[in-house]
Structure formats: C-alpha cells, structure tokens
Amino acid sequence: MSVPAGTATTLNCETIRADFPALHQDVNGHPLVYLDNAATTQKPQAVIDAVRSFYEHDCSNVHRGVHALSQRATVAFESSRTSIKNFLGARDSREIVFTRSTTEAINLVAHSFVGPRLNPGDEVLITEMEHHSNIVPWQLLCDEKGASLRIVPMTDDAELILEEFEKMISERTRIVSVVHVSNALGTVNPVEEIIRLAHDKGVPVMVDGAQAVPHMKVDVEALDCDFYAFSSHKVYGPTGIGVLFGKRERLLKMKPYQGGGDMILSVSFERTTFNEPPHRFEAGTPNIEGAIGLAKALEYIDDLGIDAIQAHEQSLLEHATQAILEVPGVRLIGAPQHRAGALSFVMEDIHPHDIGTILDQEGVAVRAGHHCAQPVMQHFNLSATVRASFGLYNRVDEIDALVKGLHSVREVFG
C-alpha cells in the first residue's frame, strides 16, 4: 500500500500480503497457496473494515430516509457509484448500474435491451469462449423470440477467429456479447477491434469483463462498448454485487428489469412511472455494504496501480508457464498471444479432480473442472482441466509450491 499510483513497476508482495488476513493460514499442514483467484479473490483488510464500519456506524436504508444514518448510507452508496464510474473511465455516474453479479448484468441487458428489439430470425452473436453466464441468458432469450444464437469459433491456440467474426455480423445481428478475458483459458480477446467491427455495422456490443477488470486497465470510454459488466468479488471486493456499465443513451431507452421499490417515481394501481437510470434497473433495497466494499477494493487497486499489478501478474504467468511445462506429462490448453490471470492445463491421463485433491493436501488451492465453460472443454475434447489463476498477492515461490505439488501427483499416480 506504500506505492504511489501509476508510478510503480513492481509490487511489494510482503506489504501487500499483510493486507489480506485470509492468506495467513495453514491448509492441511502447509501454508495456503491460493491460486483460485479467477473463482474469487481474497479481501484486503480495508474492504473488510469498510463493510464492518458500515454496519457499526451507518447501517440504514438508502435514498429515502431523512435521518442522519440514512443520509450517510446514501452518500456512501452513491459515492461508491462515482468511484466505480471513475475506475471504469465512464462519463457519468448514471451509467453505472448495481447488479448482483456479472451474470445478472448480462441477464439485465438480455431482458431490457435486447429482448424488446429481438424478432424471429434475428441473431445474437457470442463466442466459443464464453462462460455459461454469457451463453444461457441468450439461449433463453433466443428460444423465447425465435431468434438464433450464433457462435464465433476459436482456434486451437484459444484465440477468436476475427475473420469469422466479421463474416458473422449480419443485418440480423442485434447484439454482440463477448468475453474480455476467458475464465477457462486466460485468453485476452481483442475487444477494441471487435467493438469497432461491430459498430461499423451498427451492432451494439456487450463485454463480459469479470476476468479482465482485476488484471488490466479497463476504460469503457476508450473501448466505446455499449455495455460492460464485472463482479466485485473477483476484484477483491465483497460477493453479491456486480456492476453493469451502460451508455447513457442506451440505458435511457431501456425498459425496467425487475419491478419494485426504488425503480419507480410514482405508483398507483392504474399507472406506474419508472425512475431514471440507473435506479430504473435497481429494484429493491440494494447491496449497500457491497457497493461500499467494492469502492474500497477499487481504491486499493488504484493505490497499488493497475499497471504495476498487471506487470506483476504477467511475470507470474510467464514463470508459471515455463515451470509447469517442466513437469512430465503436463500440457497447457491454448497458446494465445495475450493471456491474463489464468492458465489451464491437463496432465496426461490423470483426471483434474484427482490433481486438485492432491494439490489441496499440500495447501495449494486450484480449480479443477469445466469452469462453467463446457463449450470450451468440448472444443479441446476434454471433460475438465486444472486452472491456476493469479492475483496481485501471489508470489513466485507459490508457483514453485504448485510445481512441487504436481510432482507429488506424478508420484501418487506413478
């Protein structure tokens, strides 16, 4: 936390790790090596304190009360929205909608933006690399509307085939929804180019940024995306809250997502007048402490500097790629030019779940499974992979622990 924003090229891992209480524990008799950051990240003390402080001092509902606590809660909640706006480089806080998760943000766009514009025969364009959360909402919508879901293919190196993408955008395409960084493979997709190509044909673009925001600078104005979503808990904030950025002119024309309190201006049994965005899309009491905790997490990242974090994680990834491949029988899945956050691999005929159990015995937490991206697994003709995913607090010696664990796997399986 001692490094000024934007100037650092290296992170001081020891001071950083001191900020994360959960990292300091033994698992099965070994120091915890947490390499499951793509699933969720650990939380810095500052975030835990911010959530706790809300409940200890300012706990109240937002947007309504005239009393002191409610005013404090409202100010804290709405200034979190402003922090998020600044973090994403958006123009206007009213472009920041709080959701439960990235998943809910995608569902919101499917329901309130795409749904009313989708006619039989229209198309929704996604990619082969998507998490289930960027597949299933579109499948449901396309089934309901008689539209078709089209899939941009990827190569065996785990890169999207942009020429195919260009060919697949048609006058029937109503939205392109694409993952910024693949959760299963770590591939960084060229979203700038995808957005430009789609906009050239007048097609709006939604970006699933759940795995991008923790690892790289994201500027929604520079990207010019129509929608961008991410989850708090993957970026060192609390669980249960996510963010949808939507261009103001898009949000203004969208119908509500859920009905309830806070999303209305006035209600009678004859007629309801809906509130302005973003409140139109935030029915019910929001996750107040989640918003406060998320803003604190983004502040933490800003203090370290996202460029320094990115450089640190890239060096971890490079080291991990080499070190893992030195273990006999290990094969990395995909070889994209740009990778962030995560590596997926398999080990000859040893099932990833067995690898995960054995690594856990040595205190190393990884993810084994299909990573909610079964089409990715199908592409590579696998049922599962092992995924090691990195965060700003990981150290090179933790990769060594992973490699040592993989040697133990070999030992057990002979």
Partner 1 sequence: MSDLKDLYQEVILDHNRNPRNCYIMDGASCTADGHNPLCGDIVKVYLRIENGIIEEISFQGQGCAICTASTSLMTESVQGKSVEEAQGLFDEFHQMLTGVAEEQGVALGKLHVFEGVREYPVRVKCATLAWHTLNAAMEEKKENVTTE
Q: Return the active site residues.
A: 372
Which of 25/383 has CB closer to partner 1?
383
Which of 204/405 has CB closer to partner 1?
405
Q: What is the DSSP letter of 254?
A: P
Which of 247/370 has CB closer to partner 1?
370
Which of 120/414 has CB closer to partner 1?
414
Please report how close the Cβ of residue 402 comes to partner 1 at its closest, in angstroms.
Answer: 16
Please report how close the Cβ of residue 356 comes to partner 1 at its closest, in angstroms.
Answer: 9
Which string of DSSP letters, residue by residue, matches 317-368?
A: HHHHHHHHHTSTTEEES---SSB-SEEEEEETTB-HHHHHHHHHHTTEE-EE
Please report how close the Cβ of residue 354 comes to partner 1 at its closest, in angstroms.
Answer: 5
- Indicate the helix (H) or strand (E) that contains 375: helix 374-379
Which of 10/383 has CB closer to partner 1?
383
Q: Which of 161, 153, 149, 150 is nearest to 128 (CA)?
A: 153
Give residues in contact with partner 1 (CB under 8 A): 28, 350-354, 357-358, 361, 368-370, 377, 383-384, 408, 411-414
Round to whole Å and give the CA distance between 164 and 159: 12
Cis peptide before 31 (omega within 30 of 0): no
Please report how close the Cβ of residue 370 comes to partner 1 at its closest, in angstroms.
Answer: 5
Tokens 């103001």 locate to: 248
Round to whole Å and give the CA distance between 109 and 116: 10
Round to whole Å and give the CA distance between 122 and 234: 33
Q: Phi and psi for 269 in degrees, rounded to 5? A: -70, -15
Round to whole Å and give the CA distance between 72 and 339: 42
Please report how close the Cβ of residue 369 comes to partner 1 at its closest, in angstroms.
Answer: 6
Which of 316/377 has CB closer to partner 1?
377
Round to whole Å and give the CA distance between 81 and 282: 13
Please report how close the Cβ of residue 230 comes to partner 1 at its closest, in angstroms.
Answer: 26
Helix, strand counts (H, E) of the chain? 14, 17
Q: Is the four-CA dihedral 231, 236, 241, 244 of positive or negative sign? A: negative
